[in-house]
Structure 1
Amino acid sequence: MESQIGYERLFDPQDIFFSTTDLKGVIQNTNRTFDMLSRYSRDRLIGAAHNIIRHLDMPAGLFRLMWDDLQANRPVCAYVTNRAVDGLDYRVFATVVPLREGYLSVRIKPMDTATRTAAEDAYRRVRAKERQLASRAASRHQIGEYGAGELAGELRSLGYGSLQDMTLASLPREVASLVSAGVRVPAVAPEAMGPVARILNTVASIERDTNALVFELDEYMRLITTMESTHASVAGVQGRISRIGQLVSLESGAAARTKAQVLAERIAELAQAANTELSGLPNRLSTMHDAVTQLRFAVALMRLLTLMVGRFAHSILDGSEEDAVHSLTDLCEALESGFAGLTPVLRSVSTQVGQLDDSLRTVTSSLDRAARRLGQWVDVRGGGEAASGSAVVDEVAGLTAQGFPEVRSLAQLAAECRGLALHYDATATEQRLMEIRRSLAELR
């Protein structure tokens, strides 16, 4: 259901819509919601350039950045304001994915208001600069390139290294909001039979699978973010380890020289092993964060496309869409392409989680063994409960007493990560996609 506030046309979260274009951006297909919001007839839209609905306040630089990602075969998302033929504006969150012979663009109601507002403020600043350049008789190509550079700078100020980074972060949030608003694959009557019922039941199963993955990935990200936030404490641990290594190598008493020296050498070896693993921790966590971010995006995209497939299958039953089978074919192509790339990323995340857990186990084991030998070293050097009379020994005793609780906390988080299972059955998904293909073939 749509409504209007001022010069803006609003729509509901349930009103998901899409279009497909060829490789040059010429519209090949639309759905009823697209037609209604744009107020163009389908005959007018089919064969027109997609910029027929472009709002003049949208920066050319955004579309340049989007096009660059698409030509690199990467999906891209953006907050976009369009203008209908009757002069009203409507805001969308657009997700564009490559197809074999063009592009599919799925639009939903944008619900992450804070991110959308920040993006729109950036757009206004960039568009003002583009207009200044246009006033100096710059070409459209020059304006697009210049705007792309300016918008890239604006995105960096918002914390995104690129439009692709914003894409990876924003789609999971927007799809989660869509699901929270109650948007689901339409249910089919239990007694329903035939190809449409099979498609609906199959995508409902896929929807349940991806929902489980979303929960698990959210937990992964929570644990990884918590570990990343402890980086400063890890640096403190490394500082204490290095200081202990320096101190124990400084002196060894004449009466116990041999034993102290042997202990000091072993402590240094264990400290070095722990420090080596801890030094690689930031890069390891960053790599894991990137992998989980990619995976969350891929799963969110699958959820969105699954919703679209379900809704178009249902439209065959209620007759609400023209040429719904053609639309389903395009949507299923995008769905299959997305699922094809899911297994390698899942495997990569699981491998990295295992490696992180192993690394932190090595650190805790090394530090536990070093701590035992440090206690022995302090005893040999005359330390213990009372002051030893040596500043070096007393400092080592104090550092040893602190222990390394920060590392133990990190190791526990890593073990929790490893304990999470990414429940995804690629074989079952392929069987479901085959069922959808068979059912589509019956409808053609």
Structure 2
Amino acid sequence: MNQPRSQHCIDQESPFGVDELFFSTTDRRGVIRFGNEVFIRVSKFKEDELIGKAHSIIRHPDMPRGVFRLFWQLLENDGTVAAYVKNRAKDGSYYWVMAFATKISDGHLSVRLKPTSELLETVIGVYDRVRQIEIEAAEGGASKDEVSDIGLEAASREIQQLGFADYPSFMRYALSMEMASRRKVLAEGSPNPDAISHHARSGDGVIGDSSVASMLRCNQRCTRSLDQMLDSLAKIRTATTTIQAINQRMSQFSDKIGLVAINARVSADSAPREAIAVALAESESENREAIAAIHQSVEQLVDSLDALSFELSAAALQSETNTTFLRELHVHTDDADSEALGHVQLLTDQAGRCADDLIRRLQDADDWFAKLAKLTECLQRNAKTLRFVRMAGVKESASLDESHPFRGLFDVVNKHIQSTIDDCGELRSAARQARSSVAIMENCKTQLIDDMASMNDQSAAFFQSACFA
């Protein structure tokens, strides 16, 4: 049987703060090359006990093999992956992280934050079920590779049962949720409710003109720009949620108008009434097509926002991790050595790549809502056409006996038409709010590009000077 390796574990957390970020680098085989102070402290190993060891030295036996199989597949194929990971410290205690890993030229970079969203409890349940399946497979004689494959399939099924198409969809959602939750927790702990004032974003305490201090100030400007973009993105998501709710209401109104159109055709007992019923059906069909077009546009918008949110969260996390590391260096030295500056340059490069992906995605953001506004105008015109048809129906019904089935239909239609017109106004308002937030993100993007370029120049220059010193 392939039982998991026996490890000493205790049901006690190895603590670290929500405001703390840590990172490590490995070679392509997963052998640790470097870790910052927080990583070393939380893992409870000495630095020389970690460097040169496989990253699995901190693997907790509660982690499913299938999750790691999935993690490495995505990292190697796509170059980027995010996952919840339960790690084991040297003394057997545990600590949960949201790990965001990327490929670098000669290995991998992994940055970690403390999970604070409600999603963690869901993931713990998923991992427990997947791990139990793996244990049963191992007890049945499956090899380690077979257990990993079985676990991967089980994890994929669990992700789909949570409502996600695949793991990449889930990880985009999870990282965005964790970054948003972290910002909320840190803001609630701040004396200023309008600012996230923990040390990694604050400019306080950065004294002097050393290379580290200069880079720290520059990188903090990048982090602040990304923070402002995250704030704007949250407003865009709120507007999009409103748009989704309105679109759903419109679909319900359209269904009701369609039912009236059918009843009108059935009860039309003269040529004029038949013509009105046909006009109502045709206008309702155009109305339904316009609503369907808006629905499709909103679905595409949500997918695009998910991707944008992931890229923005990744860029913000990388940038803030760099700020954290620079602050560690600033506390201990006026000028860092070449190894430390090499890792600063690495973090800067990775943050820059994430920012580049973000900027490319952001170029289309205003077009998303501009398209939605045009579709809404089309729908409103259709709704006004429906109103004219309704007026013709009311006029034709006036001479009918009150018991005639044709007579009361157009009073019902009027309410739904007016609701559709009102909803069009709300849609346009939500789209305007979203486009206003997009404009703010565009302004932040311009500042971010300048600061990223400056940060790249500084880190490269200081790294070269340290190498030749």
TM-score range, shorter chain: 0.7 to 0.9
Q: Is the CA contact 1:186–1:314 (under 8 Å) kept in the aligned structure 2?
A: no
Equivalent residue number for residue 5 of structure 2: none
Distance across 1 between alignment mates of 2:357 and 2:11:
44
Equivalent residue number for residue 223 of structure 1: 239
Unaligned 5+ runs, structure 2: 1-9, 187-196, 464-469
Report how far residue 266 of structure 1 moved.
Answer: 4.9
Q: Is the CA contact 1:91–1:109 (under 8 Å) kept in the aligned structure 2?
A: yes
Q: 1:303 aligns with which of 316, 320, 324?
A: 316
Equivalent residue number for residue 383 of structure 1: 398
Q: 2:136 aligns with which of 124, 132, 135?
A: 132
Indicate the percent of aligned positions where both proteins have the same amino acid: 22
Report how far residue 165 of structure 1 moved.
Answer: 2.6
SS in 2 for 1:58: coil
SS in 2 for 1:308: helix
SS in 2 for 1:391: coil
SS in 2 for 1:275: helix
Distance across 1 between alignment mates of 2:285 and 2:213:
62
Distance across 2 between alignment mates of 1:66 and 1:53:
16
Report how far residue 283 of structure 1 moved.
Answer: 2.8
Using the size of structure 1 for normalisation, the TM-score is 0.88
The letter of the residue matching 2:447 is A
Q: Give CA deviations for 1:385-406 in whole Å, capped at 9, x if unaligned.
A: x856631243234323543415
Q: Give CA deviations for 1:397-441 in whole Å, capped at 9, x if unaligned.
A: 432354341553254134322333212244432221121122112
SS in 2 for 1:335: helix
The letter of the residue matching 1:396 is F
Using the size of structure 2 for normalisation, the TM-score is 0.83
Indicate whether 1:395 and 2:395 are aligned.
no
Change (3 A) 1:58 1:190: closer
Q: Give CA deviations for 1:221-276 in whole Å, capped at 9, x if unaligned.
A: 2232233345553332222332344455567776xx57x67665654443322111
Report how far residue 89 of structure 1 moved.
Answer: 2.0
Q: Is the CA contact 2:20–2:113 (under 8 Å) kept in the aligned structure 1?
A: yes
Indicate whether 1:440 and 2:440 are aligned.
no
Distance across 2 between alignment mates of 1:366 and 1:140:
62
Unaligned 5+ runs, structure 1: none
Equivalent residue number for residue 204 of structure 1: 220
Number of equivalences? 435
Correspondence 1:154-303 to 2 at 5 A: 154-179=158-183, 180-181=185-186, 182-183=197-198, 184-187=200-203, 192-230=208-246, 232-247=248-263, 257=271, 266-303=279-316
SS in 2 for 1:392: coil
Q: 1:60 aligns with which of 45, 65, 72?
A: 65
Change (3 A) 1:307 1:401: closer
Report how far residue 150 of structure 1 moved.
Answer: 0.8
The letter of the residue matching 2:108 is Y
Equivalent residue number for residue 97 of structure 1: 102
Equivalent residue number for residue 7 of structure 1: 12
Distance across 2 between alignment mates of 1:429 and 1:367:
44
Q: Is the CA contact 2:236–2:433 (under 8 Å) kept in the aligned structure 1?
A: no
Q: Is the CA contact 2:308–2:361 (under 8 Å) kept in the aligned structure 1?
A: yes
**Which has the higher mean CA deviation after the structures are superposed, 322-331 or 295-304?**
322-331
Q: 1:412 aligns with which of 426, 430, 433?
A: 426
Equivalent residue number for residue 120 of structure 1: 124
Q: Is the CA contact 1:82–1:91 (under 8 Å) kept in the aligned structure 2?
A: yes
Report how far residue 147 of structure 1 moved.
Answer: 0.2
Distance across 2 between alignment mates of 1:190 and 1:31:
19
Q: Give CA deviations for 1:24-76 in whole Å, capped at 9, x if unaligned.
A: 32222211221222233333323322112111121001111212221232532
Distance across 1 between alignment mates of 2:95 and 2:171:
20
**Which has the higher mean CA deviation after the structures are superposed, 314-323 or 60-69?**
314-323
SS in 1 for 2:97: strand
Q: Is the CA contact 1:12–1:109 (under 8 Å) kept in the aligned structure 2?
A: yes
Q: Is the CA contact 1:291–1:348 (under 8 Å) kept in the aligned structure 2?
A: no
Q: Give CA deviations for 1:102-144 in whole Å, capped at 9, x if unaligned.
A: 32111122222x3212211221221122122112332222111
Superposed CA RMSD in Å reads 2.9
Q: Is the CA contact 2:102–2:108 (under 8 Å) kept in the aligned structure 1?
A: yes
Change (3 A) 1:311 1:186: farther
Distance across 1 between alignment mates of 2:51 and 2:164:
35
Q: Is the CA contact 1:35–1:41 (under 8 Å) kept in the aligned structure 2?
A: yes
SS in 2 for 1:105: strand
Q: Give CA deviations for 1:188-218 in whole Å, capped at 9, x if unaligned.
A: 5587334333322222222222222222221
Q: Is the CA contact 1:185–1:200 (under 8 Å) kept in the aligned structure 2?
A: no
Equivalent residue number for residue 330 of structure 1: 346
